[in-house]
Amino acid sequence: MPAALAVTLFMLGTGIAFARHPKVAADLEGKPAGAIVDIIVQYNKVPDAASRLMISARGGILKRDLGGLKASAYSITAGVLESLANDPDVTYISPDRPVRGMLNLSVAAINALAPATFGMTGLGIGVAEIDSGITQNADLTGGRVVYEESFLGDGITQDAYGHGTHVAGILGGTGKNSGGLYTGVAPGITIVNLRVLDQNGSGQDSNVIAAIQRAIQLKSKYNIRVINLSLGRAVFESYTLDPLCQAVEAAWKVGIVVVVAAGNEGRNDTANTHGYGTIAAPGNDPYVITVGAMKTMGTPARTDDFIASYSAKGPTPIDHIVKPDLVAPGNRVVSILSPNSTLYTMFPASEVLNGAYFTLSGTSMAAPMVSGAAALMLEMQPGLTPDQVKARMMKTAYKQFPVSSVAVDPVTGATYVDYYDVFTVGAGYLDVGAALKNTDLVSGYALSPTATYNPNAQSPVLLGTASRFAVLGGSTVTNTGATVVNGNLGLSPGTAVTGFLPGIVINGTIIAANAVALQAKTDLTAAYNDAAGRACPGPMLPGDIGGTTLLPGVYCNASSLGITGTVTLNGNGDSNAVFIFQIGSTLITATNNSTVNLIGGAQASNVFWQVGSSATLGTYTTFNGTIMAQASITVTTGVVLNGRALARTAAVTLDSNAVTIPAAAPGGAPGLADGTIQLIGTGPGGTQVLWGDQVLWGDQVLWGDQVLWGDQILWGDTVAVNSLWALQSIWSAGGVPTGESFGIALHGEK
């Protein structure tokens, strides 16, 4: 039985081999005492003869020395793990876990044709590909593969699986067999072929660790500046303990850019996270560049590209690191075929150009896009550090995305909705040309930031499809005078909308008594209940709040609330600050210029007025925020409403008004919950800095727009989380199982 399979089966055993020990990985707990387990033992020093004797005396068999990591791989019975962990020289024991691969237009989509104007091909840069091997091909001839080694004990470096050859073509294929049509990102690089995955695409941690150490040893000889890891496994412990993560950090420390596939579990909802929290190891390490997968949609332009629904999402389990760092094309990518390989045998219909090329999908295909880009950058400026490469890529990444997209599985027909937030697309879509043009230099580290969840802070009230309506009534919507409604005007269940003309609707339409209006009303009810259900710390507001200044929070009045004059809402420097007003009965503003004034970064899109009966805005009031009234809303003459008038059951009455949906309106992502997260990074000298600039989970704004990593300028404050259906599980749970499915790898998605 293969060792990787044996480890999996042993997890099903019964009988406790030892009590839980802090230096033993949780997934070793519960093994039968007599079960043979493959483990990696990490030490506080390089293991020597005494270290090996200590384990062999307990019946352990040395499989591989990983001295560069201060570690060794052994087979041993589970019953001795506790005594082994008690040795003061042992720092951590984990299983030698199985790893798998993370399974034209793509090159154009990342602006990788631009390097030709610079004369860049990656010439002189060595890339270590740690994968399933490489089968020689005309696209890789001319001394391109300069070193080959297998870490599977069979001496075979050819690609029996079909994954590594495909990755190599994306990295640096010349396109010779296609007349240049399927050229890799960096066709001038040299490749170091380190085989760690067998004919089934499987390997173990110790194979990968040993290969990383070999790349470090060969760095000077072959000028290895980049390692590509299109493989991974589930996260079982903090990256600070995981031996696979420690290995990639060792490469980073000697100046090698490490690029890792994010994983293909973005559809995985087994932990009720909607695919969030599924990043695979070692992509969970903040030092590496972790890459998610985009779909080119069959065109060279990137403006129509969407995220692949299977692309794994952050934050990472356990450590809550913000990942992925970037996204790049990974869906239905054409690259070199390894003849007679497992993948080709199983799916011959995926061949292209009479068997010279093959189509595969997955974050495995996205990672070498970034690795090739790193090689181009290092050819242009050899002195760049891994942190400088990472920071430039993330700063210059293309950041124009839709709010959400829907994907269809071509085999099952299942649909998946994705939101373009920081945990889905990171800093954006790789732009090779922009990265090459950038000249910024980071003086510090470019570690991916950590997300910290604050359950006590308020998140915006999610309006769902109601967010698209400036006016939404229950029974009727009537207007007198030259009202301008900027956004949709809706009505449900009523049917009568009158007064348009003379009133007009711009940037929207009138939607009455249909399924769209009904859904908006349903979403309004959910939002109303959410606002009403938020905890109000008190004390109760006075009957009139004119002349007061209020900070972010939840405010309540059990009866009626009035505004005479000006009430000021101070965001206190936080553009994500949320204000929620719970009013038991009526909301009434006085006539003649009453005002809701916003200062200190407060945004109208984050101000919510939940009204228990009816709301009346007096003449010439200037009002900010979304009004959600149980009954009617009357907007009298001359009122300017920067917000929404949303009435659940009764009429909305307008009279010569301007009603405008506020900028950056929240909405779209499912779920209702409170809380914010902060993205915290490390600046020069170890100082903590905050990341993100008005980043809403599910919103279009991405962090990392204009400021370099390591600068003392902050990248923003708090990151508002519109929906915590992911975070509530991620912050309390461990990893989600990861692994590439053949369905995703071969078919991709529409």
The CATH number for 45's domain is 3.30.70.80
Please tell me the total number of residues recorded for the chain in this structure: 750
Same domain, 526 and 608: yes
Please tell me whether residue 443 adopts helix, strand or coil conformation.
coil
How many whole angstroms separate alpha carbon 566 and alpha carbon 410?
A: 57
Question: What is residue 514's predicted lDDT score, i.e. its pLDDT?
Answer: 94
680 is a domain residue: no
- Is 236 within 8 Å of 26 (Cβ atoms)? yes
Assess whether pLDDT exceeds 50 at residue 347.
yes
DSSP 446-487: -PPPEEEEETTSPPPPP-GGGGGEEEEESSEEEEESS-EEES
How far from each other are the two terminal CA atoms of the chain, in whole angstroms? 38
CB-count burial class (<10 Å; 0-12, 13-18, 19+) for 351 = middle
Q: What is the four-CA torsion angle of 708, 711, 713, 716, rounded to 10 degrees?
A: 50
The CATH number for 164's domain is 3.40.50.200
Assess whether pLDDT exceeds 50 at residue 50.
yes
**Pick the residue with more confidence: 413 or 693?**
413
Determine the average pLDDT of the residues in 726-742: 43
Query: In the beta sheet, which residues pair with residue 472?
Result: 490, 646
Question: What is residue 1's predicted lDDT score, i.e. its pLDDT?
Answer: 22
Q: What is the pTM of this model?
A: 0.69
Q: 426-462: string of b/e by CB count within 10 Å (b at 16+)?
A: bbbbbbbbbbbebeeebebbbbbbbbbbeeebbbbbb
- Do you find a cis peptide bond into 386, omega within 30 degrees of 0? no
Q: How confident is the model at residue 462 (pLDDT cuts 50, 70, 90)?
A: confident
Determine the average pLDDT of the residues in 328-353: 90
* Selection from 183, 186, 184 nearest residue 126 by Cα: 186
Same domain, 380 and 308: yes
Q: How confident is the model at residue 721 (pLDDT cuts 50, 70, 90)?
A: very low
Question: Which of 99-108, 196-205, 291-300, 406-415 shows the lowest mean pLDDT across its residues?
Answer: 99-108
Name the DSSP letter for residue 316: P
Task: Please state whether 46 falls in left (phi above 0), alpha (psi between -120 and 50) or beta.
Answer: beta
Same domain, 202 and 219: yes
CA distances from 30 to 2, 37, 86, 235, 254 (A): 21, 12, 18, 19, 38
Same domain, 139 and 166: yes
How many percent of the chain have pLDDT more than 90? 63
Catalytic one among 38, 106, 163, 350? 163
End residue of a domain, out of 42, 73, 96: 96
Assess whether pLDDT exceeds 90 at residue 672.
no
Assess whether pLDDT exceeds 70 at residue 111.
no
Assess whether pLDDT exceeds 80 at residue 106.
no
Assess whether pLDDT exceeds 50 at residue 684.
no
How many percent of the chain have pLDDT more than 70? 83
Assess whether pLDDT exceeds 80 at residue 600.
yes
Same domain, 146 and 275: yes
Assess whether pLDDT exceeds 70 at residue 686.
no
676 is a domain residue: no
Residue 499: which domain range?
Answer: 464-660
Assess whether pLDDT exceeds 90 at residue 59.
yes
Does the annotation mark 431 as catalytic? no
721 is a domain residue: no
Question: What is residue 687's predicted lDDT score, i.e. its pLDDT?
Answer: 35
674 is a domain residue: no
Same domain, 468 and 573: yes
Q: Count CB-CB contacts under 10 A for residue 536.
A: 18
Same domain, 234 and 332: yes
Ranges 444-453, 494-503, 727-736, most confident: 494-503
How many whole angstroms separate alpha carbon 49 and alpha carbon 438?
A: 50
Assess whether pLDDT exceeds 90 at residue 245.
yes
Assess whether pLDDT exceeds 50 at residue 451.
yes
Determine the average pLDDT of the residues in 617-637: 98
CB-count burial class (<10 Å; 0-12, 13-18, 19+) for 44 = exposed
Same domain, 104 and 137: yes
**Pick the residue with more confidence: 622 or 141?**
622
**Pick the residue with more confidence: 116 or 565?**
565
Does the annotation mark 320 as catalytic? no
Q: Count CB-CB contacts under 10 A for residue 732.
A: 8
Assess whether pLDDT exceeds 90 at residue 307.
yes
How many whole angstroms separate alpha carbon 607 and alpha carbon 555?
A: 11
* Selection from 52, 99, 53, 84 nearest residue 71 by Cα: 52
DSSP 654-690: EES-EEEPPTT----S------EEEEEEE-GGG-EEE
How many whole angstroms separate alpha carbon 368 and alpha carbon 358?
A: 16
Catalytic one among 335, 364, 605, 656? 364
Q: Count CB-CB contacts under 10 A for residue 715.
A: 21
Q: How confident is the model at residue 407 (pLDDT cuts 50, 70, 90)?
A: confident
Same domain, 569 and 634: yes
Assess whether pLDDT exceeds 80 at residue 241.
yes
Assess whether pLDDT exceeds 60 at residue 730.
no
Q: What are phi and psi of 295, to 5 degrees?
A: -110, 130
Catalytic one among 96, 131, 242, 574? 131
Question: What is residue 671's predicted lDDT score, i.e. its pLDDT?
Answer: 28
Q: How confident is the model at residue 473 (pLDDT cuts 50, 70, 90)?
A: very high
Q: How confident is the model at residue 454 (pLDDT cuts 50, 70, 90)?
A: low
How many whole angstroms separate alpha carbon 395 and alpha carbon 452?
A: 22
End residue of a domain, out of 77, 96, 115: 96
Q: How confident is the model at residue 664 (pLDDT cuts 50, 70, 90)?
A: low
Question: What is residue 539's predicted lDDT score, i.e. its pLDDT?
Answer: 85
688 is a domain residue: no
Assess whether pLDDT exceeds 50 at residue 534.
yes
Assess whether pLDDT exceeds 50 at residue 319.
yes
Does the annotation mark 163 as catalytic? yes
Assess whether pLDDT exceeds 90 at residue 647.
yes
Q: What residues contact 597, with CB distance under 8 A and at least 6 apart?
A: 566, 567, 568, 569, 622, 624
Same domain, 475 and 623: yes
Helix, strand counts (H, E) of the chain: 17, 45
Q: How confident is the model at residue 7 (pLDDT cuts 50, 70, 90)?
A: very low
Same domain, 472 and 447: no
Same domain, 425 and 512: no
3-state SS record for 248-261: HHHHHHCCCEEEEE
How many whole angstroms separate alpha carbon 486 and alpha carbon 469?
A: 9
Question: What is residue 741's predicted lDDT score, i.e. its pLDDT?
Answer: 43
Determine the average pLDDT of the residues in 417-428: 85
727 is a domain residue: no
10 is a domain residue: yes
Q: How confident is the model at residue 176 (pLDDT cuts 50, 70, 90)?
A: very high
Lookup: tokens for 65: 């020395």
Question: What is residue 401's predicted lDDT score, i.e. its pLDDT?
Answer: 83
- Is 208 within 8 Å of 71 (Cβ atoms)? no
Single-letter residue type at 129:
E
- Is 608 within 8 Å of 625 (Cβ atoms)? yes
Q: How confident is the model at residue 113 (pLDDT cuts 50, 70, 90)?
A: low
Name the DSSP letter for residue 282: T
327 is a domain residue: yes
- Per DSSP bridges, beta strands 90-95 and 36-43 are antiparallel
Question: Which of 97-106, 195-204, 577-586, 651-660 shows the lowest mean pLDDT across its residues?
Answer: 97-106
Question: What is residue 447's predicted lDDT score, i.e. its pLDDT?
Answer: 85
Question: What is residue 445's predicted lDDT score, i.e. its pLDDT?
Answer: 79
Determine the average pLDDT of the residues in 546-555: 93
**Pick the residue with more confidence: 651 or 464?**
651
How many whole angstroms separate alpha carbon 365 and alpha carbon 369?
A: 7
Q: For the chain, how many structural domains are there in total?
A: 3
Q: What residues contact 413, with CB distance under 8 A and at least 6 apart?
A: none
CB-count burial class (<10 Å; 0-12, 13-18, 19+) for 334 = buried
Average of per-residue pLDDT values in the chain: 83
DSSP 13-40: --S-SS---TTB-GGGTT--TT-EEEEE
Assess whether pLDDT exceeds 90 at residue 100.
no
* Selection from 720, 671, 714 nearest residue 697 by Cα: 720
